[in-house]
Every structure is written in structure tokens, then in C-alpha cells.
Amino acid sequence: MRLALAGINHRTAPVELREKLAFRPDEIPNALVHIQQKGATEALILSTCNRVELMAALSNGTPPEALLEGMLAGRGGLTFETVRSHFYLYEDREAIRHLFRVASSLDSMIVGEPQILGQLKQAYYVSREHGGIGTVLEPVLTKAFSVAKRIRSETEIGQNAVSVSYAGVELAREIFGTLNKKRVLILGAGKMSEGAARHLLRAGAEIVITNRTPERANELARLFQGQVLPYELFPQRLNEIDIVIASSAAPGYVVTCEMVRRAIEIRKNQPVFLIDIAVPRNIDPAINSLEHAFLYDIDDLQRLSERNLQARRDVAQQAEKIISEEVMRLEAKLRERDVTPTILSFQEQLETIRQEVLTRYRGKLGALTLDQEQALEALTRSIVNKIAHGPISEMRRQAHQGEFVSAVRRMFRLGDH
């Protein structure tokens, strides 16, 4: 059984490609089934605004590239040849290392952001609910969660932690200088929208919220002293808005070029700033062609990420050291687990031989006292344990060397395990 991880992220692929490969929550159960039909015995899909990744346990004979083909199934007509250069593919140790880095937010656009761990846990729960988590992925993922917790406890990576929604608000602040009294429309009412609203409130902005589900919009407005704009009315009221931050789960563009053009005309050419932090994108990129309209998408936040990474470089190095330690520990544990059936068979074989020899020679020893019986039992067990100690220790130490374990099985005629 091998472990493999395939994916793309904000460094390897532009948002135009990431949005085509992104999975909606309702698509994931069927996708997990499809991946398992491709030869994965277990699988997990992590799909966020910055990454789409698939981790799987592969049966013998299944090439890791099958994961890439599985991810592309039904994904907007994309072919393996056209997107291969954007993907990364890791196996075994490197797959574990990458997962630990993702869980710990070292691989995030904004290093130290707390949201990714929750997203990974949610992906784990969904996969487990649909039969995608078993004896291979379970220990790897639970260890990833504990590694992330350890890094947050032992380093300052979470100090002043930021998120993509925070970076979007900071970008708006850079553009305007101040957000005080600026009218900001938050399109969507999910977790990222909630994060944006929190930062906007601190910056003194006037918050307007619109969402397809009015109950959720009302809840967010109460939390952050905002106004609710009915979803069907926001296109006509766009001219009242200075900044649009879009983060809804809509599968396509909900802010069109024509909407923004009309809003700018009514505003008498006062600029409109739009920040799209959704994947798939909510705002038509053609808006960039309009005069007085300034659109930024999630990839434009990369420069804030680079600034953030530089400030956290020392902390990141501490975290990388912890990850290296934990990868080695997990590898040792997994190797020992994999070789355990052979060790148990070896011990059972030696015990069978001990019992056979005792049975054969006990009659020649005559009547034995209870103390003598116990001494004979202890003597033979001690001999067997001394014989077994060396091979068992070596099997645990060289569990990654399949040839050695196979040689032990052949020498002691243990059969297949």
C-alpha cells in the first residue's frame, strides 16, 4: 500500500485553472467514489480557494498519475496533457510532509492563517462519512492535526494570524488609505465573508451584506452592525457601493461587466473597487477593461502573502523543524505497523516449534515437580525469545526494506502476509 498526494495551489496554478478544478461540497461524495474506482482504496479531497488536493492510499499496481486523471474527470473538459505542468505529485514521505505543512498553514498564501486546519478537518469528516478514510489515512490525518496543534503551541506562527479575507480588506485599505465611512458590499455570508466583515467593522467601514439566503445575511448583519441588501436588488443598488468584496459559493459570475458599467455611469465616474476572494470567481474578470473599475482577485493577494512570509521566516523555520521530526516519527510508526503481522507470525511459528519440542521430550524426562515444570517452561521461552530478539529488532528497523522482511518470511516459512 502506497500513499500519494496530487494537487494544485496558488503557487502552481492561476485562479482561472483552480476554479475549473474546484469541487463543490455536493460533488465530493461522487468524486471519492470515482477515485476509488481508479484504484485508490482510501481517498480525501481538499478543495479551497487556494488549493485543490487529493490524497489517497493506492493499491499495488495503481500508478500515482491515476489521481491526476481522477481529479480531471468532468472538470470542464480539461485534459491531462494541458494541466500536468501545474500539478505536484508526492508519494509516501513527501506526501506526509506536504500534508503536515498544509495543516500547519506553512503552505498557505498567508502563512499562519488559521482557516486551513478547519478546512482540512472538514474534508476529513466528509471523507470518513463516505467511506474514504481507513487504516492508512486515519493515522496520517490525525497526526497532521496534532502536528498543527503542536506548531501553534510551540511557535508564534499564530500570533497576529491573518486570513485571505483579512488580506482582501488590507488591499482595500491600501487603495483608499482609510476605510472609514466607505460603503462596502459583502457578497456572500460564509466563513470568509464573516472574517471580512469583522475586519471591516474594526476599520470603520459601513457594511452592507447581500446573500441568496436572507436568514444568513440577517444573522451576519446583526453580528457586525451591518445593513442587509436583498439579493435581487444589489445589481440596481451597486452605484451606492464603494467597495465590493465577493465570497459566495455561486458557481459562476454574479457581478457582471454590464452591472458595473451602469453603476459607474450613475456614480459619475467615481471609482469602484472590487475584490473577488471566491473560487470559482464571483466577478467577471472582463470588468478590468472598464475605466474607473479596479478588480482584484485572489491571486492579486499573493504580494501580501510574500510580505507576510518574509516577516514570519524565522517562525516558519521552527515549524519546519517540528514537521521533520514528526514525519520521521510517523514513518517509524507506520513501518512498525506494516511489519507487525510478520512479527506476530514469526513469534507464533517459534512458539509452535517450542511446544512441539517440549511435547516430544517431556516423556523422556520422567515425572517433574511443579517447580521443574515451571523452570523448563521458563528455560525454553527464554531460548526462543533470545533467538527472536535479533530478527524482530531488525525487522522493525528495516521495515522499509521489503526484501529483508521477505527473507525472514522465507527462512521461517511464514507464508504471505
Per-residue model confidence (pLDDT) at position 353: 86
**pLDDT-derived band at 310, boundaries 50, 70, 90:** low
Averaged pLDDT for residues 301-310? 65
The whole-number pLDDT of residue 309 equals 61
pLDDT band at 255 (very low <50, low <70, confident <90, very high): very high
pTM of the predicted model as reported, rounded to 2 decimal places: 0.71
Task: Name the band, by pLDDT with cuts 50, 70 and 90, for residue 161.
Answer: low
Among 58-67, 74-83, 198-207, which is the least confidently predicted range?
74-83
Q: By mean pLDDT, which of 30-34, 73-77, 365-369 is the weakest?
A: 73-77
Predicted local distance difference test score (pLDDT) of residue 417: 44
Query: Which amino acid is it at 410?
Result: R
Q: Which residue has the higher pLDDT, 332 or 206?
A: 206
Q: Of 18-22, 113-117, 128-132, 197-201, where does mean pLDDT reach its minimum? A: 197-201
pLDDT band at 42 (very low <50, low <70, confident <90, very high): very high
Domains, the chain, with CATH or none: 2-161 (3.30.460.30), 176-305 (3.40.50.720), 338-411 (no CATH)
Read off the pLDDT of each residue in 283-298 and give the average, rounded to a whole number. 91
**Catalytic residues, which ones?**
49
